Amino acid sequence: MTDWLGLRGRKALVAGAGGIGAAAAAGLAQAGARVVVADVDEQRLKALTEDTPAITPLAADLATADGCRACVGEAASILGGLDIFVHAVGVNDRRPVLETPDEVWRDIVGINLDSAFWTGKAVGEQMVDAGYGRIVYLSSVSGLLAHEHHAPYAATKGGVNQLCRVMAREWAASGVTVNAVAPGYTETGLTRGHLDRDGVRASLTSLVPAGRLGTVDDLVGPILFLCSAQASFVTGHVLYADGGRTLV
């Protein structure tokens, strides 16, 4: 089969073995990439590699700058370099601004945004030196829309959008593209508990012109495209994969 995406043999690191990260990693592996997936949860890594044996698991804590640099360095050592990086790390804690403790703000910013900067910087150093790279961040429609009870999460996703744009601007001449995929309401382990509350699923579905919530599989194609040879002239872009949610 023709390798239209140009992913066969590419060396990919995916940070985050949860729903979207796991689906992206499996998609990259199926497209012929060599994939390392990093996560702090070893049980989650075990489950992922049992489903997709071609993926190499890497236990890593991305809560510190040193941990992020160590993760990127070890993945590059395993693969012999890095061509692709997907950052799919994120948490949320839904509560009003006035009821958000300092520690909740710090935790969400640390996990969602600090890790995006530290891993992206470490990956960027390698890719700029090599003259080639594809970086894709998982953002959210919350980076654009003002959802109530989402202040720390929305702030981090808006930050990710601007981080990817600045990285894209600085690294474009070195053959490195940096983009983001912004899902709408998507069923994942992060969102399922909230969606299962009375009336929440129906209420959110009513806001999506496509008439349904997203699935992790809906995001694999956009992620793979941005990682591919076909997206060589696309950089600094936030791609909304939201069923039209940002249209209303």
Domains, the chain, ordered by start: 11-240 (3.40.50.720)
Is 94 exposed, middle or buried, given 0-12, 13-18 or 19+ CB atoms closer than 10 A? middle
Q: Please give the pLDDT value at position 36.
A: 98
> Tokens 């970086």 appear where?
135
Residue 219 has pLDDT above 70, yes or no: yes
Which pLDDT does position 99 carry in this prediction?
98
Q: What is the pLDDT of residues 162-171, one digit of tens each?
A: 999 999 999 9
CA–CA gap between residue 87 and residue 85 (Å, rounded): 7
pTM comes to: 0.95
In the annotation, is 153 catalytic? Answer: yes
pLDDT tens digits for range 85-100: 999 999 999 999 999 9
What is the pLDDT at residue 6? Answer: 97
Q: Which of 132, 137, 153, 185 is flagged as catalytic?
A: 153
Residue % of the chain over a pLDDT of 70: 99
Q: What's the CA dihedral at 18, 185, 241, 19 to 10 degrees?
A: 10
pLDDT band at 81 (very low <50, low <70, confident <90, very high): very high
Question: Between the CA of residue 162 and those of 32, 108, 165, 167, 237, what are the distances in Å?
Answer: 31, 17, 5, 9, 10
